[in-house]
Amino acid sequence: MTLVEEAMKLFNEMLHVGMWPDVKTSGVLLKALFLAGKVDDAKELFRVIKPYAMPKDLCICCIFLDGLCKNGYIFEAMKLFNELESYNMKLDIETFGCLIDGLCKAGKLETAWELFEKLYEEGIQPDAMAYSSMIHGFCKKGQVDKANILFQKMEENGCSPDLITYSILMRGFYESNKLEKVVQLLHRMIEKDVWPDDGIYAIVEDMVCKDEKYKEWLDLLQRFFVQKHRNGYL
């Protein structure tokens, strides 16, 4: 019996003797079930705790929503999201962000964009994860110009792009053969003191294979990694 199975057995025993696990315990078990790929068990667990979780505990609902999205159950995730709204629960950026990311990964870009725009209607400021998810969604559809516009809007709205955001857009520019845009983004990263990683180094390596004129950027990144290694950052 695995640790997750033992935990589920203990959970059921607690219910059998009339003990109700607290929110933290339920949340930990939900996460563990999803990580173990036991989606049906996670659904059954949520069915049991839903009567007390749904009206008041957004954290548990968000864990379940995120698990559904990451395991490809996007329609069930959308249904849960709509239920949460019907309960007049005050949804936060984490709840919106989980579903936006899931929708983008499922290729449902229009629905994701509608949800993203709804953030502003609800007075919720998008975070880096929400922006990055939408930018990734646009890039996957080959709509890199829209991704770039959203990136600029992100900065204008005071949300700082992180390494993930830069990497996503850079990869989008590279795959669209907009290599000069990649260079502009590299400049921007350096200005903002965002450290490139191996993924960005690989993009620049690929650029050099296409055109030797980008070798100076590869040399710069090599020096960067050597310096960071000396300073103990890598």
The yes-or-no verdict on residue 219 having pLDDT over 90 is: no
Q: Are 183 and 218 in contact (CB under 8 A)?
A: no
- pLDDT, residue 233, reads 52
Q: Are 45 and 53 in contact (CB under 8 A)?
A: no
For residue range 84-114, list pLDDT tens digits in order.
998 888 899 999 999 999 999 999 999 999 9
pLDDT digits (tens, 9 = 90+) for 40-66: 999 988 998 888 777 678 888 999 999
Residue 230 scores a pLDDT above 60: no
**Domain boundary assignment for the chain:** 1-91, 128-234
pLDDT for residue 193: 87
Answer whether residue 12 shows pLDDT above 80: no
Torsion angle defined by CA atoms of residues 156, 159, 163 and 169, in that order, rounded to the nearest 10 degrees: -40
Distance from C-alpha of 11 to C-alpha of 5, rounded to nearest angstrom: 10
pLDDT(1) > 70:
no
pTM over 0.85: yes
